Structure 1
């Protein structure tokens, strides 16, 4: 039976190659892919990610080949991304502690959450969180997505996160302990050297944030703690880390290898790579 992959995309823009790379690896093996977004709105690629003439400021060069730009435009215009699952509809919202009937509402929340997350985890073999600047807005601190991540991790099913999508892993945590899932783990992600000084943008929002609102590297260093580690691999062309159940990818050129490594995790039981 072919593997089933749940791919989560931001509604504020994903980086094209960070979707295309893993999808090509999954398509080559006949995996079935289901897409999801926070509210069920169709995801769109960030325009610079399909512009081969766009120069990435920190790297001082284009990071998108003309062939990749074509592939991004094709998948972005296709029907594949139409009608994604809605995390908002699938996963209940945790009640405020100030709600009038908090105890009963919290009990109901846990009942509904456990059933919903259980169904998702049972239906898929792996979870993928695609990167780009969009995840900063609607994925990093998305409690519904955190619950999905916690469910996949508890089931020992692999989770691939790319670029700023890795922030989701740092913030997904059991509220009883408040400890990050990444504590003691080794990961990569967007290093400080790769952050924009200006021009962080989003789909559907006429707003230049300037630099990213948080330095992901610092968050990951703190989340992994003294027994884990962040690996920026600055100066190396690629950076992908496997520390089961997590596969983390630094940025655009790591998209294809991260997809291939997730396949190796699923097919060959790979549990460690890159550190």
Structure 2
């Protein structure tokens, strides 16, 4: 029987490829995929994440290949992402894995969301695969296990994190959240934040504890991406590792009986 994967996305601004790559990888593998968002609305990408000319102001590189931008727009403009479930409508017992996707909006409506935490905890306690990419990794940091002295569920694990050196932090780094495909009833948020809300690398280093490890390679790239599997967790660094993240989900699920 086909594996069933619950793919999670923000309603306040995905990074296009961080949703598109694992979505397409799982579909290509023949998995049954279900999309869920906090509001049950179509997940929309950051406008700059589907702009092939966008240059990351910290790394000074173009992050969005044109073919990726075109595919993300195709998904947004079509029906595949049009009818996600709300987190509150999902039963984790129906799925083999949960895969969180990134984007700055994930910090706003995913990372400390009770309904999403419940889904992850249900997966974790039943030994199912729990995957998270980029900013969504902090959702795992904030999820605490009452059966383990309220330590993070990633305590003692080896977990990837968006490197501190890549964070938008400093003068002139204020961020707005303009979305591609926004409509009056799905417009995201008009909040402006002073760069990223928190340094994920620092949070992960604290959360994994002295027996765990944080992988935050500043030389990760499309040619040399960074993902890691420490059961039951699959984590990836950032957008450059989106394809590798999707491929790892497929590889791990296909290896499990």
TM-score, length of structure 2 as denominator length: 0.89
What value does the CA root-mean-square deviation take over the aligned residues?
1.5
1:122 equivalenced with 2:93 (yes/no): yes
Q: Which residue of 2 aligns with 1:219?
A: 203
Structure 2 gaps, min length 5: 180-187
SS at match of 1:55: coil
The CA deviation string for residues 24-79 of structure 1, in whole angstroms up to 9 with x for no partner, is 21111111111111121221111111100111111101100111110111111111
Q: Is the 8 A contact 1:14 1:43 kept in 2?
A: yes
Comparing 65-74 with 206-215, greater Cα deviation is found at: 206-215
SS at match of 2:116: helix
Q: Which residue of 1 aligns with 2:185?
A: none
Q: Which residue of 2 aligns with 1:187?
A: 159
Q: Which residue of 2 aligns with 1:259?
A: 246
Write the distance in 2 (CA, Å) between the matches of 1:269 and 1:3. Answer: 10
SS at match of 2:144: coil
Q: Is the 8 A contact 1:20 1:72 kept in 2?
A: yes
TM-score, length of structure 1 as denominator length: 0.84
Write the distance in 2 (CA, Å) between the matches of 1:236 and 1:88. Answer: 35
Write the distance in 2 (CA, Å) between the matches of 1:145 and 1:220. Answer: 19
- Give the paired residue count: 241
Q: Which residue of 1 aligns with 2:4?
A: 4
Comparing 218-227 with 237-246, greater Cα deviation is found at: 237-246
Q: Which residue of 2 aligns with 1:244?
A: 231
Write the distance in 2 (CA, Å) between the matches of 1:196 and 1:213. Answer: 9
Structure label with greater radius of gyration: 1
1:235 equivalenced with 2:207 (yes/no): no
Write the distance in 1 (CA, Å) between the matches of 2:28 and 2:141. Answer: 31
Displacement of 1:189: 1.6
Write the distance in 2 (CA, Å) between the matches of 1:236 and 1:9. Answer: 23
Q: Is the 8 A contact 2:111 2:136 kept in 1?
A: yes
SS at match of 2:141: helix
1:85 equivalenced with 2:85 (yes/no): yes
Structure 1 gaps, min length 5: 91-119, 271-275
Q: Which residue of 2 aligns with 1:108?
A: none
1:168 to 131, 134, 139: 139
Comparing 126-135 with 19-28, greater Cα deviation is found at: 19-28
Q: Which residue of 2 aligns with 1:27?
A: 27
Displacement of 1:89: 4.6
Displacement of 1:246: 0.5
The CA deviation string for residues 121-167 of structure 1, in whole angstroms up to 9 with x for no partner, is 32111101110101110000101111111110111111110100001
More helix by share: 1
The CA deviation string for residues 66-104 of structure 1, in whole angstroms up to 9 with x for no partner, is 1111011111111111221112455xxxxxxxxxxxxxx
